[in-house]
Structure 1
Amino acid sequence: MPKLKSRKAAAKRFSRSGSGKLMRRKAFKNHMLQHKSSARKRRITGLTLVHERDAENVELMLPYL
């Protein structure tokens, strides 16, 4: 059976946690940060889990993750 290709865009955006769950970055932290409060910016920093309904699609895009 041939090797499967990963979707490179997805490979840059998702990773696995130590327990094997899929992790993603939170949205709204790219630009126009001057009008967002420090508390809001702090809340959207860091990683969070991919929702279970989306996890199946992400795993299809990344067969070897």
Structure 2
Amino acid sequence: MPKQKTHSGAKKRFRITGSGKVVKQGAGMRHHLEYKSSRVTRRQNQDVVLPTQDAKVIKKLLGK
């Protein structure tokens, strides 16, 4: 049986913490950063822990 490959898009967007939670970067940090206040960009740049229902799918894509 062939090896399962890691999903290339998922490995760029998600990571798994030491305790097994799946985290991603907050939304809204890609465009128009010049016009957003520093307060907004700091808040959006924080990591977000995914809910367990979504984390189950992401872990499968990451091969865990």
TM-score of Structure 1 vs Structure 2, range by shorter chain: 0.7 to 0.9
Please, what is the CA RMSD of the aligned residues? Answer: 1.4
How far off its partner does 1:17 sit?
0.9
Q: Structure 1 length normalisation: TM-score? A: 0.82
The residue that corresponds to 2:36 in the other structure is 36
- The answer to whether 1:48 aligns with 2:48 is yes
Q: Unpaired runs of 5+ in structure 2?
A: none
How far off its partner does 1:62 sit?
1.3
Q: Unpaired runs of 5+ in structure 1?
A: none
Misfit runs of 4+, over 2 Å: none
Query: Distance between the aligned counterparts of 1:33 and 1:2, measured in 2?
Result: 43
How far off its partner does 1:3 sit?
1.4
The residue that corresponds to 2:7 in the other structure is 7
Counterpart residue identity of residue 16, structure 1: I
Query: Distance between the aligned counterparts of 1:6 and 1:27, measured in 2?
Result: 23
